Amino acid sequence: MAIILSLSTNGLPITGPTMSSVEALEAECLHQFGVAPRKTDCRGSFIKLTWFRGLKDRIVLNDDVHIQMYVKCHIMLLFGTILFRDKSGATVHWNFLPLLRNFGQII
């Protein structure tokens, strides 16, 4: 990954638990975006990219909170399409969401 994207690999690794409960997925989405995907928007521990695209399209960029939500959606779309694409190219594992919680520390 470092060679492909010219990313620095110095520093601590990013790790975390892989949770697969639907309740935890819903709680994380509610915390991050104020809305949770429907069961039809999920496939096991994966969220359909169409859900993130739809959410991103509906966000009005009128304050920092909404701008952060927009950027988080965009990052999840990058994870699901470029960085960690699955066979279908239609979903992204939700275990990346907790990594975006402390948005101020990312940038």
Instruction: Give 40-88 pLDDT, tens digit per residue.
Output: 998 888 899 999 999 999 999 999 999 999 999 999 999 999 887 878 8
pLDDT > 70 fraction of the chain, expressed in percent and rounded: 79
pLDDT given for residue 35 in this prediction:
94
Q: Are 79 and 1 in contact (CB under 8 A)?
A: no
Beta pairing, strands 46-48 & 91-93: antiparallel
Global confidence as pTM: 0.78
pLDDT at res. 15: 58
Residues 6 or more apart whose CB falls under 8 angstroms from that of 29 comprise 35, 36, 37, 47, 94, 97
Radius of gyration of the chain (CA): 14
- Count the alpha carbons within 13 Å of 100 in the hemisphere toward its beta carbon: 20
Domain locations in the chain as residue ranges: 20-106
